[in-house]
Homo-oligomer: A and B are copies of this chain.
Amino acid sequence: MDIKAAVNSLEDKLKKYRRDFHKYPEPGWLEFRTSSKIASVLMKLGYEVKVGHEVVKKEAAMGRPGDEVIAKNVERAVKEGADPEILKRMDGLTGVLGIMDTGRPGPTLAYRFDIDAVEVDEAREHNHRPYKEGFSSEHPGVMHACGHDGHAAVGLGLAEVLTRLKDELHGEVKLIFQPAEEGVRGARAMVQAGVVDDVDYFLALHIGFGKSGGIGIVTRSAGFFATSKLDVEYRGRASHAGAAPQEGKNALLAAATVALNLHAIAPHSDGATRVNVGALMAGTGRNVICDRAVIKLETRGATTALNDYVKKKALKIIEAGAAMYDLDYTIHEVGCAMSAEGDEELASMIKSIGRELGVEHIIDEGSMGGSEDATYFMEKVRSRGGKALYYQVITPIAADHHSSRFDFDERGLSLAVVLHAEMAKKLLNPSN
């Protein structure tokens, strides 16, 4: 089958999917409408479909909102066209898995698509294409500013192409639509639900990055920081700052001391580390000794071991900060990711596909700089002898990822589907 031609015929559909997702962006763990839409399409295409709690282990879901917020968003999703039946099956958890068994023995190939949006308020300006063309966010404060709308669309396009290619393939395909990648919260819960326990090849991609024009590929993404995201809450005792300062147990001063000392954690000679207290909220009344403080922090390391080094030091500082001011405290891990290296063999396969397609810019390796919880899937697959790759599809962007005027050239969608589909043809076809 001519994959490229097949994808070309899907171009309008890809665009339609992407713009629909863009219009109804949903933050992590609240992708009810998105999941429902994806599940519907996959069902119609004949995939075996699992949703929500069937593919996500609830106890391992980090940073998930409370029941009230969940209920409200399920309701909202229905109003926006989600299928109540599917929502019921999901049981409060988002995420979808589509399985296509070719019926012929062979390896299992999994693709992962992240589907959540970012908490950014989309620009309402006429030179911002989504606004001008009427598909900008309907949800104030939430926006697909990182291309996950595109990832979801690519997943659905790939699903359709693979059904056409099915007869040429052996083994099994798994399409993983992961919730809550932002904040690296969702992957661990799907891994622990066993989603990639039988997977031999794992592929994930990210779209965007094109600052200088032109379409391209980074055949192997590297430089994922292992990371831990922690929420700390200190609870002390309030008292009147003028009349009884001695009665207080000052949570604000503890948090300030801890923030400074966290940032002073020594670097490591084995490689890069990071720590950031991104938010500190303490106190309410000016004339009250502060009795409650929250700090939101993250640690990072170029390797999982380096992140562990920083995290361990951080926990000690957090604990001692509580002791210094005689406070109670709780620490919640609300996200984490590992470091991971993509497989070089898979990367060179992407490279040769790209060359055959005549892709202009092909870069061997590029650093992602941040963290990605696809690394959880990658490490799991590698740990059982499989191969995993994370690569990038470069397509022009209108503004930086996560900014309010982010948009991307939709030509990248087709290229992504073609690359992913060609990999299936190579990896699941014994004659290749």
Contact = CB atoms under 8 A, between A and B. Distances in A.
Interface stretch (A205-213, A294-302, A383-391): A294-302
A243 interface: yes
B261 A257 contact: yes
Closest 9 CB pairs of A and B: A243-B369, A241-B276, A320-B324, A263-B264, A256-B256, A279-B283, A278-B286, A245-B266, A320-B323
Contacts of A253: 259-261, 263-264, 277
Interface string A326-361: 100000000000000000000000000000000000
Interface residues of A, number: 64
10 contacts: A246-B268, A250-B263, A252-B279, A257-B260, A278-B286, A278-B289, A279-B285, A279-B290, A280-B280, A320-B321
A375 interface: no
A119 B288 CA distance: 13
A286 B229 contact: yes
Given A257-B257, A261-B257, A320-B321, A290 B274 contact: no
A271 to B, nearest CB: 8
A369 B269 contact: yes
B284 A279 contact: yes
Nearest to A281: B281
B269 A283 contact: no
A269 B239 CA distance: 12
A286 B279 contact: yes
A242 interface: yes
Given A242-B225, A255-B256, A274-B245, A282 B280 contact: yes
A256 B321 CA distance: 13
A225 B324 CA distance: 25
Given A279-B290, A286-B298, 18 more contacts: A243-B269, A246-B267, A246-B309, A248-B266, A250-B266, A252-B259, A252-B279, A253-B264, A256-B259, A266-B289, A278-B285, A278-B287, A279-B282, A287-B370, A316-B326, A317-B324, A319-B323, A320-B321
Contacts of A321: 320, 324
Interface of A: 119, 183, 225, 227, 229, 240-246, 248, 250, 252-253, 255-257, 259-261, 263-264, 266-270, 272-274, 276-290, 293, 296-298, 300, 309, 316-317, 319-321, 323-324, 326, 369-371
A274 B242 contact: yes
A369 B300 CA distance: 22
A103 B321 CA distance: 64
A312 to B, nearest CB: 10
A268 B264 CA distance: 14
A316 B323 CA distance: 7
Contacts of A229: 286
Contacts of A119: 285
Nearest to A275: B241
Given A253-B261, A316-B324, A283 B296 contact: yes
Nearest to A63: B286
Contacts of A256: 255-257, 259-260, 280
Given A253-B260, A324-B320, A370 B242 contact: yes
Given A256-B260, A257-B261, A266-B289, A278 B272 contact: no
B267 A290 contact: no
Nearest to A309: B246
A255 to B, nearest CB: 7
Contacts of A285: 119, 278-279
A259 B288 CA distance: 14
A297 B289 contact: no
